[in-house]
Amino acid sequence: MKKRFHAFHTRVFATVVLVAVVPIAVCLMLMLPLLIASSDRRQAQSAGEQLEAMQAQLGAVFEQTDAMLDALSRRVDGEEDGRALYEAMVEAASGCTYVENLYVLAPDGACVEALRGGEARMDTDWGILAMAQEDTVFAPSAKADRIDAARKTREGFVLARLDGDALRAMLAAAHDSSCGVMLLTPQWRLILETQTAGASLAVLRERWLDGEALGQGDVNYGMRVEPVSGFTLLLSQPRTFTAETTRTVVLLGASMGALSLVLCVWAALVLSGVISRPVQEMTRAMARVQRGELSVRITPRTNDELGLLAQGFNRMVEEYEQNLRRTVERQKELDETRIRMMQAQLNPHFLYNTLDAMKWMGLTHGVPQVATLAQDLAKILRTSISGEEFVTLGCELELLERYIDIQLIRFEDRFACEIEVDDALMNLLVPKMVLQPIVENAVIHGVRDMDDGYIKVYARQMDGELHLFVQDNGRGMETGQSGALSFGVSGKPGEHLGLYNVDSILRLHFGDAYGLSIRSRPGEGCLVEVRLPARPAGSHTKGGKA
Amino acid sequence: MKRLVLILVCAALLVALPGLAQENAPAQAMRLTVYTSHKEEVYRPVIEEFERQTGIWVRVVEGGTAGLLERIRQEREEPVADVMFGGGVESLMAYADCFAPCDAGGAPLRLDCTFEDGRFVAFSRLPIVIIYNRHLVKTPPQGFAQLLDFPGRIAFADPCVSGSSFTALATMIQALPDEDVPARLLEKAQVLPDSGDVITAVAGGICPVGVTLEESARKRILDGEPIGIVWPQEGTSAVPDGAAIIAGCSHPEGAQAFLHFILGEAVQRRVQTAFARLSVRSDLAPEGEEAQEGPLCAYDIPWASAQREAILARWRMLTGEDAP
């Protein structure tokens, strides 16, 4: 399955949105309901307190009225004297500020005495008198905006008419100005109301009968039944969090969210630009490097991690370029060496046949030295033209002996050569013809003009390395060639072409850690050391080179 | 320990919750739904007094007679209403299958207000009377025959539109069997679009006399309009309106209690006084100065219902509307 590509700016945008917009949304979705619930709870509590206060005040009025009617009913029973009756009524009504009028009625509803004049007769089969019992009952008066309280006596009724305006004022003072209260009969018919707020009573009554919540929308309702009269107090309280307020808050939150979303888009673009532009530049530069344009460099724009990255990239490309150049140069040198070696080769078969002919002529003509020379040379030649690059140390030493035999004949035994190598090392691999050029150098530049020249070849194995030494007691190297004479990569072949070639071959095979080193002082001989990894035959792997 | 705390919290909640909860809505037994075609000034005091005396919560649905009765028929499977309050008995008769049997609770009812069927009761009677302008007319017509001979226009509502006007027309036809009432009436009538316009026309002097319901006339007299009422000497009709219990209703006991209540003396007395109608009780004499009940003719309600279309068709033909 293909892995989906997520553009960097998309991820930056998502992150920024997560950080900026989500808290606002969470705040709005979580805090707003909490806030509304808390406000509603507080309001409900306040409504409860207001209702409590109104119920208490109303109850006090009704209880006072009840007590007054009770006292009056005792006084009027059996009272014949009109004046005494009136005085009793005046006395009873005194102190009852809400009493507008007071009536003493005959059993048929005819008015016997009224405190402030008024109706001549009341219905006994309708309204309050139809309900009146030994205890005081309360009902809305037939006269609008009044409440009647009546009680049956032995000789008719006593009835107090309470002033609705005064009661309304009392209730209005007991609730918040924003609220309204309705005083209702037990079946929720309106007696009086302080101010209209919210739904009509008809609607509320329907809700109540349907068992629905009274408060729907922007007004809450609280109710309390006043126990003395049985009337219901219904408080309407506008909600603090109306639908409109909530809408406004949500709108505000939403616009804040939208604003931060816009800011997020902007920030995401800027941020991703800051980061992705250098990255894209680097990607392009890398593609060019892959195509081989090593001259590509990035100009660091900023002094931050991205700047460091750009610098690092530049360094990396530089090093890669140098490395490549070095490799190419090395390859070129190797090729040159090979060309030189090939130029040095003659047609080997012709030489070999010639040498064979010379050997037999030497034997036939009784010149054994010629036969020996020809035979040794043929041997050297055969080895040198064989295709193998590595030979065992034993084989190399045998070749060296042949060469020395030739040189001894040539120089009429004016030098001696000694080979001292432990048999254990004979099986180690060395590059072919690695010792011959060194010994040749020792013969030609060291001991050729001496009568008692001495060349010693010996070998040591240390720390996994094989050290071959060629020591002579010849005239040594001239000043400047001695000591740390090195045939490194930058070394010049000069007159010691053989040494240079050996050193080159070693370094190319095994790396710069290996090669030749020469210790010498003019007139005191010379010691050439060959360092190479000790590898026994059979583990024939080509030497590692970086 | 944790369990103990949990139990305590639960107990506290159980104690606190009823305190927090609001008062409960009234019980089903204490409810009643009434469909009424009466005007608010009639039904409101009756229903509020009923609530006061019984403690039952009454729901009122107002509407026209025909609409409410049709609604009752549609709701027959699951009745919403308990009581139909209002509507002429001829209308209720037509929907008798929607009503449950009921009784009058032993109230002494007039013979013309008792029905063999027993599926509804009469509530009040609405007599048709002659009205005249007191200023313009010194000797008013004493009956329908004199009215038709009266010099001057007769205010009469269109019987095709007004139900009470049709009743008036049918009453006159029954009272004067030898006359071609529609033709004679149309010679002199000022036909008005609504029954309310009759009183306005008479009180305003546009017409000196008119025919309308006694109820409306008495109310306007109480308002001080210069109108007089004449109870026709031939006798007149007083078609009662009624009330019925809906068959299969949820609160049959409350409905029956409501019917007993409206036939009770207290309400029936108010029918005569406050509502300016005639009581259906035989033990209540008409009250008030203007409410002198006169002779009644034997108004044949089924005949009027049956002949309705024929009478109206003739009326339309005579007026030139809808001529064939």
Tell me, yes or no, whether B204 and B314 share the same domain: yes
Judged by CB atoms within 8 Å, which residues 171-200 of B form the interface with A? none
- Residue B26 touches partner A, C-beta closer than 8 Å: yes
pTM of the model: 0.63
Judge: A206–B265 Cβ closer than 8 Å, yes or no: no
Band (pLDDT 50/70/90 cuts) for residue A246 is: confident
Tell me, yes or no, whether B231 and B149 share the same domain: yes
- Residue B77: give the domain boundaries: 29-125+238-279
**In this predicted structure, what is the pLDDT of residue B303?**
86
Distance from the A177 Cα atom to the nearest Cα atom in chain B, whole angstroms = 23
Tell me the ipTM for this assembly: 0.77
Residue among B257, B306, B255, B249 nearest B98 (CA): B249
Averaged over A425-444, what is the pLDDT?
88
Q: Does residue B152 form part of some domain?
A: yes
Judge: A211–B25 Cβ closer than 8 Å, yes or no: yes
3-class secondary structure, B309 = helix
Question: A524, exposed or middle or buried, with CB in 10 Å at 0-12, 13-18, 19+?
Answer: middle
| Top-confidence range, A45-54, A374-383, B298-307 | A45-54
Separation of first and last alpha carbons in chain B: 97
Residue B249's CATH number? 3.40.190.10
**In this predicted structure, what is the pLDDT of residue B23?**
60
**In this predicted structure, what is the pLDDT of residue B82?**
95
Which residue do the tokens 């009568």 mark?
A451
Per-residue pLDDT tens for B26-85? 888 889 999 998 988 899 999 999 999 999 999 999 988 888 999 999 999 999 999 999
Chain A residue numbers with beta carbons less than 8 Å from the beta carbon of B82 are: none
Q: Which of B22, B49, B55 sits opposite A126 (nearest CB)?
A: B49
pLDDT at A495 exceeding the cut of 80: no
Tell me, yes or no, whether B52 and B185 share the same domain: no
Judge: A209–B265 Cβ closer than 8 Å, yes or no: no
Tell me the count of A-B CB pairs closer than 8 A.
Answer: 45
Chain A residue numbers with beta carbons less than 8 Å from the beta carbon of B26 are: 209
Tell me, yes or no, whether B117 and B71 share the same domain: yes
Q: What is the CATH number of domain A407-533?
A: 3.30.565.10
Looking at domain A8-238, which of 3.60.40.10, 3.40.630.10, 1.10.1660.10, 3.30.450.20 is its CATH number?
Answer: 3.30.450.20
Averaged over B112-124, what is the pLDDT?
84
Distance from the A58 Cα atom to the nearest Cα atom in chain B, whole angstroms = 19
Cβ-based neighbours of B77, under 8 Å, separated by 6 or more: none
**In this predicted structure, what is the pLDDT of residue A494?**
56
Tell me, yes or no, whether B192 and B305 share the same domain: yes
AA letter at A290: Q
pLDDT at B286 exceeding the cut of 90: no
pLDDT at A540 exceeding the cut of 60: no
Judge: B266–A125 Cβ closer than 8 Å, yes or no: yes
Report the chain B residue with the minimal C-alpha distance to residue A130. Answer: B53
Substitution target in B43, B52, B268 with the highest count of A β-carbons within 10 Å is B52
Q: How far is CA B323 from CA A343, B186, B307, B312, B319, in A?
A: 143, 16, 19, 12, 9
Chain A residue numbers with beta carbons less than 8 Å from the beta carbon of B31 are: 209
pLDDT at A388 exceeding the cut of 90: no
Q: Does residue B290 form part of some domain?
A: no
Q: Which of B56, B57, B266 sits opposite A130 (nearest CB)?
A: B266
Among the residues of A345-367, which ranges form H helices? 348-364
3-class secondary structure, A389 = coil
Judge: B22–A223 Cβ closer than 8 Å, yes or no: yes
Structure tokens at A99: 């009493």
Chain B residue numbers with beta carbons less than 8 Å from the beta carbon of A125 are: 265-266, 269
Tell me, yes or no, whether B134 and B99 share the same domain: no
Lowest mean pLDDT, pick from A153-157, A197-201, B6-10, B241-245: B6-10
Chain A residue numbers with beta carbons less than 8 Å from the beta carbon of B59 are: 206, 209
Q: Between B168 and A488, name the one with better pLDDT.
A: B168
Q: How far is CA A459 from CA A423, A435, A506, A520, in A?
A: 10, 11, 16, 18
Averaged confidence pLDDT in chain A: 84
Cβ-based neighbours of B110, under 8 Å, separated by 6 or more: B280, B281, B282
**In this predicted structure, what is the pLDDT of residue A150?**
92
Q: Which of A187, A206, A225 sits opposite B23 (nearest CB)?
A: A225
**In this predicted structure, what is the pLDDT of residue A444?**
84
Tell me, yes or no, whether B121 and B140 share the same domain: no
Structure tokens at B20: 């927090």
pLDDT at A484 exceeding the cut of 60: no
Tell me, yes or no, whether B120 and B132 share the same domain: no
- Residue B53 touches partner A, C-beta closer than 8 Å: yes
Tell me, yes or no, whether B145 and B110 share the same domain: no
Residue among B324, B214, B263 nearest B85 (CA): B263
- Residue B40 touches partner A, C-beta closer than 8 Å: no
Beta bridge partners of A114: A103
Report the chain A residue with the minimal C-alpha distance to residue B46. Answer: A126
DSSP A125-140: SSTHHHH--SS-EEEE
AA letter at B90: E
Q: Between A172 and A479, name the one with better pLDDT.
A: A172
Distance from the A131 Cα atom to the nearest Cα atom in chain B, whole angstroms = 7
pLDDT at B11 exceeding the cut of 80: no
Tell me, yes or no, whether B271 and B253 share the same domain: yes
Tell me, yes or no, whether B213 and B314 share the same domain: yes
Averaged over A306-324, what is the pLDDT?
89
AA letter at B292: Q
Per-residue pLDDT tens for A179-231? 889 999 998 999 988 887 677 888 899 888 888 888 877 888 888 999 988 99
Tell me, yes or no, whether B58 and B183 share the same domain: no
Q: Does residue B289 form part of some domain?
A: no
Residue-range domain boundaries for chain A: 8-238, 407-533
Domains of chain B: total: 2
Residue among A534, A346, A501 nearest A422 (CA): A534
Band (pLDDT 50/70/90 cuts) for residue B2 is: low
Judge: A187–B52 Cβ closer than 8 Å, yes or no: yes
Q: Which of B48, B56, B266 sits opposite A189 (nearest CB)?
A: B48
**In this predicted structure, what is the pLDDT of residue B292?**
62
Chain A residue numbers with beta carbons less than 8 Å from the beta carbon of B52 are: 127, 130-131, 139, 185, 187
Decide if A510 contacts A516 (C-beta within 8 A). no
